[in-house]
Structure 1
Amino acid sequence: MLFWYIALFIAAATAQFQFFDQFFGGQQQGGGQQEKQNVASDSSWFQQTWQQATCSNYLCPDTLACVHFPHHCPCAFPEVEDKVELADGIRVCASKGGFKEGETLRKIELARKGLN
């Protein structure tokens, strides 16, 4: 008799946890919903995308934009980065860091001149 009470308790507990698991999204079954998968934890996705990109000029290594010259490459996140063109056609993208408009560019220019 004690065995049946234990079995009933375990069955009820299991059903309860399955209900909460499904209710809060732990296990999604059916309905055609698929969970998005993370990209690979190595650079294989980027390398494959880079190899498939077509560009007759210069392919920017960080954004995969096709431009005429390397210093024309855009920043990956222009909303939060300022693009700075340095000598010899080099460009860098620096975080705006919450400064007022143009402050990042001014600070980089001062650093280049050694006047931080």
Structure 2
Amino acid sequence: MRSTFSSLALVLLTLVAAAQAQFGFFEQMFSGGGGQQEQQRQQNVPSDAAGYRRQYDGSHCDKYLCPDTLACVHFPHHCPCAWSNHEEKFELAEGHRICVSRGGFAEGEAARKVQLARQGKL
């Protein structure tokens, strides 16, 4: 009788411990204490101009500091595109440049669109 009671008590304690561990895990996952939920919240913060301004002000450049990429170049039209794998750079008059999405499948399509825009046809 005594061993049956001991075995029953051991099984009961094991079940209680397992249930507590399981529900503790779910509580952490769904109560906002979960690491993944906190990490996702940090990724979706609204744009912070003050953070960008601190980074811009903290950049050291003795030439021209590109405002969009923070690259240090000799002239503004030498600034690289932020997404060079997906954009083409075109230099305009008076030392300006634009970055245009490559888009489409035809080679030179972005250049063609820039030319049409210069002609006022786009």
Query: TM range, normalised to the smaller chain?
Result: 0.5 to 0.7
What does 1:71-110 correspond to in 2, within 5 Å?
71-110=77-116
Q: 1:110 to 1:84 in 2, by over 3 A?
A: same
The equivalent of 1:48 in structure 2 is 54
- Once the two structures are superposed, residues 45-71 of structure 1 have per-residue CA deviations (whole angstroms, 9 ceiling, x without a partner) of 111111111111100000000000000
| TM-score (ref. length: structure 1) | 0.68
The secondary structure found in structure 2 opposite 1:83 is strand
Identity across aligned pairs (percent)? 56
| TM-score (ref. length: structure 2) | 0.65
Write 1 or 2 for the structure with the bigger share of helix: 2
Q: Cα RMSD over matched residues?
A: 3.1
AA partner of residue 53 (structure 1): S
Compute the displacement of 1:22 (Å). 5.0
Q: 1:23 to 1:40 in 2, by over 3 A?
A: closer
Counterpart of 2:34 (choices 18, 21, 27) is 27
Aligned residues: 99
Compute the displacement of 1:98 (Å). 2.8
Unaligned runs of 5+ in 2: 1-17
Q: Which structure has the larger Rg?
A: 2
- Once the two structures are superposed, residues 3-38 of structure 1 have per-residue CA deviations (whole angstroms, 9 ceiling, x without a partner) of xxxxxxxxx9876443235579x624xxxxx95844
AA partner of residue 118 (structure 2): R
The equivalent of 1:112 in structure 2 is 118
Counterpart of 1:63 (choices 59, 69, 72) is 69
Q: Structure 1: how far apart are the matches of 2:49 and 2:29?
A: 36
Unaligned runs of 5+ in 1: 1-11, 29-33
The equivalent of 1:6 in structure 2 is none
Q: 1:108 to 1:54 in 2, by over 3 A?
A: same
